[in-house]
A and B are shown apart, each in its own frame.
Chain A
Amino acid sequence: MVKFRVPFKAMIVVILLIVVTAFTGCGQKEEVGKEQQITVTDLAGREVTLKAPVDKVILQYSGSGGGFITLLALEGKEAPKKIAGWDPGLKEYRYDMMQKFSEGIPGLKDIPDVRDIGKETFSIEKVISLKPDVLILPLDLYKNAKEVVSKLENAGIPTVVIDYHSETVENHTKSIMLLGKILGKEKRAQEIADFYKMQVNKVYSRLEKIDKSKPVVYVECGNNGPSTYSNSYGNYMWGALTEQCGGTNIAKGKIENYGSLNPEYVLKTNPDVIIITGSYWPKKPDSMRLGYIANPEESKDLLMNFTKRPGWENLNAVKNNRVYSINHGLSRDIWDFVPIQYLAKTFYPDEFKDLDPLESFKEFHKRFLPVEYSGVWMMSLKERI
């Protein structure tokens, strides 16, 4: 025993060495951790810890308020590098946007397609193989995708929930800030959020003071063309926006989310204002066309065709030329201040005379988007307001 005794001094040295190494080791580790791990509260009220800033995200609802436009505003032309994979939404039903964006933004076309989580075609395996840092999920998709979310969590991929679909200023701002935070672009996010709040408050602050009778409004998605009455919206999407902007939505109470109204009901309620939403649906030549690659004459003719539906010549909206169109893809996303301003202005032209939604939209492009404004996004049968 005695023979093997280690000298006391040497022991101290060894212990010190171990402690120091351990401390430096720990110290290094902690420092790295500080940079990489943050905890955020997402729009489903979950606390999520993830590495930040993230390098790669998976997106869903790319064409309809799933955070893609926010990412574009935050990251500019670098956006595709941050997207590990997405659903085919933008490609499939925002034809003109896909066209325009892929012209100006290299790499957008090559983003891998991971399909749609809502359609059960979502490939978890593919997502894992793409090694993303986070899955960005809209709130309404999250509700039905908890199983997928927990599977991805087990694979070390956290999910952050955002929400543009409830169309509230609060959730919009929170979503913008949340994406800014996880991408390490908080300053830019703050600018976007401030811009958004400023734009919508131009409407909401003034709307409270208006004491006029509300116009009766019919909104229809122009995807089916004039021959078939397509979706109108209950307390959802365009329907909710209509009510928020001071109109009376005739579909409220008739339709829960979306669905067609009976043509007869539309005729009988005799709306003061009709709004046909437009986009670029390539398979339907008589659908309402608006967006980056639309031209004014064609769009006007298409909108005119809707007013030739049987019986529409007797509607107040048609008689008084109050038939309008606005881009379908503008709702429930960060740029929905444009339709909010546009709807308010069509409902109360005198009160919002000085408001120019088109100018706001152009400004948004100039300040935040990596592509330039083009095409036609909103129009009336009278003229562009």
Chain B
Amino acid sequence: MEKKADIKAKEIYDEITGRKYALLFLFAAACVLALIIDILVGPAWLSIQEVFSAIFLANSSDPTTNVIVWTIRLPTALMAIAVGAALGIAGAEMQTILDNPLASPYTLGVSAGAGFGAALAIVLGVGIVPYAGEYLVSINAFFFSLLTCLLIYFIGKARRVTAETMVLAGIALLFLFQSLLALLQYIASEEALQVIVFWLFGSLLKTTWPKLAVVAAVLIIVVPLIAKDAWKLTALKLGDEKAKSLGIDVEKLRLKAFMLISLLTAAAVCFVGTIGFIGLVGPHIARMLVGEDQRFFLPMSALGGAALLSVASIGGKVIIPGAIFPIGIVTSLIGVPFFFSLILTKRRGYW
């Protein structure tokens, strides 16, 4: 009897996890497909053959095609995947540790901090690191998003580290940095103002291989560290008390995860601008599809974010071929209808 029940339970478990693996596989395939299309699409309308020969037989093709593929399309397309994944993960873990469906790098002021740092460089030419040249804006954005996180961290630490304190501190900082940003916009000249606005819209086209390398490196370092705590983070969703009773140092876990997410967010937004929507929606899509189990939730958020940003990148190039259409706008335009369709077709409450 008992044995039979065990087998039955195992079957059900295998079926459920099998379905989740299938979904993960499906999204991974979607990411790869989006990546390939992203590389193939562009205002130069290169043929599939031209693109592939430029990638795989680097020196055989026309030099202009080579440059287009290697310095523009490949880094940009890969950046969409990397940034999408980073923001997806960051949003997922923020929602987990703060137990709040509205938490994302955007709602907690991290992006606003980055925007303020960028604007500071654009308007006043003031950098944190001297002689930063073309990286001035990115370094400033990176620094200020980390600063925002540190402030939230210390406010959280000074009081008892509860989710509520951190959310409230984050939202207060969001408003602080937004008004500082508005102040800079107010004093900015017309030309600088325009640069700020476009920075805030977000753009993947500023990507270069070194920038991509930085984001990729941060992803590679941070993701295993978060994944290591997957079980603990899953338990955290049961509530602080229950997690504590399972032997988890809730406050330490929360702070550690928070620092890792901050690093991830800062690296992602500093190069492409504030793309707020991915960090909020990527995790929700993942949660609807695979639930709270971090073993699936984490990779699914990353894949969801990556796929969404990659599709947005394609969309941005198709809307007005030739011009640069801001990625932040396309992301929301494509993401919101998709998100609504998920909310409306999902019957049970998932949060």
Contacts and interface: CB of A to CB of B under 8 A. Distances in A.
Contact of A264 (B42, B189, B195, B198): B42
A268 interface: yes
Interface stretch (B60-68, B79-87, B89-97, B252-260): B60-68
Contacts of B321: 254, 262, 265
A265 B190 contact: no
A93 B42 CA distance: 34
B191 interface: yes
Contact of A263 (B123, B194, B198, B205): B205
A264 B190 CA distance: 27
Interface residues of A, number: 37
A314 B206 contact: no
Contacts of B44: 264-265, 267-268
Interface in B167-189: 186, 189
Contacts of A231: 194
Interface in B102-150: 122-125, 133-134
B68 A268 contact: yes
Interface stretch (A37-45, A126-134, A221-229, A338-346): A221-229
Given A267-B44, A283-B124, A310-B71, A262 B205 contact: yes
A311 B324 contact: no
Interface in A236-274: 251, 254-255, 259-265, 267-268, 270
Contacts of B134: 225, 227-228, 286
Given A228-B134, A284-B125, A262 B67 contact: no
B322 A261 contact: yes
Nearest to A315: B64
A286 B133 contact: yes
Contacts of A229: 205, 324
B337 interface: no
B64 A259 contact: no
B158 interface: no
A92 interface: yes
Q: Which of A89, A229, A311 has the most CB of B within 10 A?
A: A311
Contacts of B190: 89, 93, 116, 118-119
Nearest to A227: B134
B322 A254 contact: yes
A88 B191 CA distance: 13
Interface in A298-353: 310-311, 313-314
Contact of A261 (B73, B191, B324): B324
A283 B64 contact: no
Interface in B187-216: 189-192, 194-195, 198, 205-206
B43 A268 contact: yes
A104 interface: no
A213 interface: no
B287 interface: no
Nearest to B71: A310
Contacts of B42: 262, 264-265
Contacts of A88: 189
A267 B43 CA distance: 10
A314 B324 contact: no
Given A262-B42, A264-B43, A282 B125 contact: yes
B37 interface: no
A121 interface: yes
Contact of B322 (A223, A262, A313): A262
Given A89-B190, A265-B43, A282-B125, A228 B64 contact: no
Contacts of A261: 322-324
Nearest to A255: B323
Nearest to A226: B134
A265 B195 contact: no
Nearest to A263: B72
A104 B198 CA distance: 38
A310 B205 CA distance: 13
Nearest to B42: A264
A228 B205 CA distance: 9
B189 to A, nearest CB: 4
Interface in A176-228: 223-225, 227-228
Given A262-B42, A265-B44, A286-B133, A254 B71 contact: no
B284 interface: no
B189 A89 contact: yes
A86 to B, nearest CB: 14
A227 B135 CA distance: 9
A321 B106 CA distance: 47
A310 B64 CA distance: 9
Q: Which of B186, B190, B194, B322 has the most CB of A within 10 A?
A: B322
Contacts of A228: 134, 206
Nearest to B317: A262
B348 to A, nearest CB: 44
Contacts of B122: 283
B344 interface: no
A314 B63 contact: yes
A281 B123 CA distance: 11
A268 B73 CA distance: 13
Contacts of A89: 189-190
A281 B191 CA distance: 10
A283 B125 contact: yes
B320 interface: yes
Given A93-B189, A311-B68, A262 B206 contact: no
Contacts of B317: 262
A54 to B, nearest CB: 27
A261 B205 CA distance: 10
B203 to A, nearest CB: 8
Contacts of B195: 224
B39 to A, nearest CB: 11
Interface in B250-292: none
19 contacts: A93-B189, A223-B191, A227-B134, A229-B324, A251-B322, A251-B323, A259-B324, A262-B205, A262-B324, A265-B321, A265-B323, A267-B64, A268-B44, A283-B122, A286-B133, A311-B64, A311-B67, A313-B63, A314-B63
Given A227-B134, A231-B194, A265-B43, 16 more contacts: A92-B189, A227-B206, A229-B205, A251-B322, A254-B320, A254-B322, A259-B324, A260-B324, A262-B317, A263-B205, A264-B42, A264-B44, A267-B72, A268-B44, A281-B191, A283-B125
Interface of A: 88-89, 92-93, 116, 118-119, 121, 223-225, 227-229, 231, 251, 254-255, 259-265, 267-268, 270, 281-284, 286, 310-311, 313-314
- Lowest 7 CB-CB distances: which A-B pairs, in order? A311-B67, A283-B125, A268-B44, A227-B134, A254-B322, A265-B43, A310-B71
